[in-house]
Amino acid sequence: MNFEYCKIEIFIPHTHLAVLQDALQRVDAGHIGSYDCCLSYYEVTGCWRPLKGSQPYLGTENTISSETEYKVEVICKMEKTEETIAAIKKVHPYEVPVINAIPLYKISF
pLDDT of residue 109: 59
* Per-residue pLDDT tens digits for 34-61: 998 899 999 999 998 888 877 777 788 8
Q: Look up the pTM and report it.
A: 0.86
For every residue of 22-72, DSSP letters joined together read HHHHHTTTT-BTTB-S-EEEEEEEEEE---TT-SS--S-TT--EEEEEEEE
* Per-residue pLDDT tens digits for 85-102: 999 999 999 888 999 999
pLDDT of residue 83: 97
